[in-house]
Amino acid sequence: MSFSFSNSTEVFIFIILCSVYVCSILWIYGDAATRDMGGFKGGILPLIFVIAAALALTKGFLWALLAWPIGYVAWFFLRPATAHVITE
């Protein structure tokens, strides 16, 4: 895994993007649970995004940037339509 940054602004953007990426995976994890996709299915689907991210990172920064929105948009098509709030 190698990254090359030419200035501190790029490093800042990298940190922000990494944070957004991890938070979006966590959000998907929670979203899966509130759509009755808990357990194996709910655990595996977000994991696919984690693996995709890891693979993308090994191919370089640009691949990671491309993989994230594709995976994220795909989630909105894959997930069940109805959600509920876990209150008890």
Nearer to other proteins, 43 or 69 (CB): 43
One of 8, 76, 81, 82 touching other proteins (CB under 8 A): 8
Site for other proteins in 45-84 (CB under 8 A): none
Neighbouring CB atoms inside 10 A of 53's CB total 20
Pick left, alpha or beta for residue 25 (phi over 0 → left; psi -120 to 50 → alpha; otherwise beta): alpha
Integer Rg of the chain from CA: 15
The type of residue at 18 is C
Contact present, 72 and 24 (Cβ < 8 Å) = yes
User: Counting contacts by CB under 8 A, is residue 4 touching other proteins?
Assistant: yes
Should residue 26 be labelled a site residue for other proteins when binding is judged by CB under 8 A? yes
Chain residues that interact with other proteins, rule: CB under 8 A: 3-8, 11-12, 14-16, 18-19, 22-23, 26-27, 29-31, 33-34, 38, 43, 85-88
